[in-house]
């Protein structure tokens, strides 16, 4: 039985959680699981003595993904996430024993769980969890496309991302499967198992796409949302251009955080889908645009440049996108 002071504290905590409810729950959860996926891969590399690969994976959560969910974290969780990143990076840099690195990563995982609690009842809603699983699987498919060609690993980090993302999707599925209708549950389980098998044997991308599409169709039956058609190169390019234009407007209006969020969306939600087809046409341009959208524009924002300087950098990126559009026949 709660005492009155305890009830007051509990009410205050719940109220704080309610106020901190993420604005885009699916994106929030998927981004958190992407972070965990990167650290899963980092742990594997660290355990196997491949510190370079471990470090590469460990960069992504803090450098690329954190800004996308920062605004939806409570102030306390923001501090914890930053402290977690710092400890993980210091442990990695010091080359401490694997147990120390695993402990640091597990502390972050616990804070991710705390962040997911802020979703409230949404966290266990079958319609919500089905959307999360579908999106994680789609992300895995994209990473696999970047990581494997003709049965061979061409980018180890991307291949490992595909592995860990599917594993994360399976964890969500296993935790929520009992709330799904029997038919959809069985079909989705089979599709995830197939996807796991294709990735393990470095099978054809078409086989993975088929398995992921099957899972997404079944999950769409649960969530009640239509399976979105895959975007075209033209649609991704148009969205990136639109978002970069918005970033310029936000920055001119004194909203640097909104400008950064637009840049993050341009990269994570759009440009990543252009990397593979563009690399086949011009690898140098693909890498240049990747670095610009993933790192350079955001780094420039942190220096608080004049609007003219920021606009110039964005315009340079738009000029490169125009070259990409021509190469891709768009």
Taking only the tens place, the pLDDT of each residue in 43-83 is 999 999 999 999 999 999 999 899 999 999 999 999 999 99
Better-scored residue on pLDDT, 4 or 81: 81
Percentages of the chain per state (helix, strand, coil), in multiples of 5: 85, 0, 15
Confidence of residue 12 (pLDDT cuts 50, 70, 90): very low
Query: Quick count: other Cβ atoms within 10 Å of Cβ 64?
Result: 19
pLDDT at 229: 59
Mean pLDDT of 300-325: 94
Which residue, 137, 142, 117, is CA-closest to 25?
117
Least confident of 15-29, 130-144, 147-161: 15-29
Q: What would the two tokens of residue 94 be? A: 């010091």
* Contact (CB, 8 A) for 111 and 77: yes
Identify the sign of the CA torsion 223, 61, 284, 279.
Answer: negative
pLDDT at 215: 97
Q: What would the two tokens of residue 63 be? A: 């450098």
* Angle value at C-alpha 158, between 221 and 111, nearest 5 degrees: 70
pLDDT tens digits for range 285-299: 999 999 999 999 999
At 148 the three-state DSSP class reads strand
Which H helix or E strand runs over 153?
strand 152-153
Query: Quick count: other Cβ atoms within 10 Å of Cβ 67?
Result: 18
**Structural domains of the chain sorted by starting position, each given as residue range(s) with its CATH number in brackets:** 23-223 (no CATH), 233-327 (1.20.120)
* Contact (CB, 8 A) for 155 and 146: yes
pLDDT at 3: 40
Q: What would the two tokens of residue 225 be? A: 């949302």
pLDDT tens digits for range 209-250: 999 999 999 999 999 987 655 678 899 999 999 999 999 999
Please give the Cα distance from 329 to 70 (Å, whole number): 37
pLDDT tens digits for range 98-130: 999 999 999 999 999 999 999 999 999 999 999
pLDDT at 9: 36
Confidence of residue 15 (pLDDT cuts 50, 70, 90): very low
pLDDT at 141: 96
The C-alpha torsion from 103 through 105 and 110 to 112, rounded to 10°, is: 180
Q: What are phi and psi of 148, to 5 degrees?
A: -130, 140
Q: What are phi and psi of 153, to 5 degrees?
A: -75, 120
pLDDT at 307: 94
Q: Does 327 have pLDDT greater than 60?
A: yes
Write down the pTM of the prediction: 0.81
Residue 138 CB burial class (10 angstroms; 0-12, 13-18, ≥19): buried
The C-alpha torsion from 318 through 321 and 322 to 328, rounded to 10°, is: -170
pLDDT at 1: 36
Confidence of residue 280 (pLDDT cuts 50, 70, 90): confident
E-strand stretches of the chain: 148-149, 152-153
* Contact (CB, 8 A) for 66 and 89: no
Confidence of residue 18 (pLDDT cuts 50, 70, 90): very low
């Amino acid at each position: 039985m709660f005492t009155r002071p305890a009830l007051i504290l509990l009410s205050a905590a719940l109220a704080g959680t309610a106020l901190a409810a993420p604005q885009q729950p699916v994106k929030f959860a998927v981004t958190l699981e992407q972070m965990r996926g990167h650290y899963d891969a980092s742990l594997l590399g660290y355990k196997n003595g491949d510190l370079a690969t471990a470090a590469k994976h460990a960069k992504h959560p803090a450098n690329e993904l954190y800004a996308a969910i920062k605004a939806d974290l409570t102030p306390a969780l923001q501090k914890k996430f930053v402290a977690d990143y710092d400890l993980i990076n210091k442990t990695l840099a010091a080359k401490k024993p694997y147990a120390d690195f695993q402990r640091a990563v597990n502390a972050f995982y616990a804070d991710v769980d705390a962040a997911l609690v802020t979703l409230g009842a949404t966290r266990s809603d079958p319609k919500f969890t089905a959307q999360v699983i579908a999106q994680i699987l789609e992300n895995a498919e994209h990473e696999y496309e970047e990581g494997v060609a003709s049965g061979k690993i061409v980018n180890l980090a991307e291949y490992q991302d595909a592995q860990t993302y599917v594993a994360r999707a399976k964890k969500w599925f296993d935790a929520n499967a009992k709330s799904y209708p029997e038919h959809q549950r069985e079909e989705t389980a089979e599709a995830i198992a197939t996807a796991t098998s294709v990735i393990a044997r470095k099978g054809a991308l078409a086989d993975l796409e088929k398995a992921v599409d099957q899972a997404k169709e079944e999950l769409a039956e649960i969530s009640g949302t239509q399976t979105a058609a895959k975007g075209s190169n033209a649609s991704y390019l148009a969205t990136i251009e639109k978002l970069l234009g918005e970033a310029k407007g936000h920055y001119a209006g004194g909203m640097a955080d909104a400008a950064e969020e637009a840049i993050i969306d341009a990269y994570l939600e759009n440009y990543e889908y252009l990397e593979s087809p563009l690399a086949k046409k011009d690898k140098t341009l693909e890498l240049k645009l990747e670095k610009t959208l993933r790192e350079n524009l955001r780094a420039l924002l942190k220096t608080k440049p004049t609007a003219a300087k920021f606009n110039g950098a964005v315009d340079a990126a738009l000029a490169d996108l125009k070259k990409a559009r021509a190469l891709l026949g768009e």
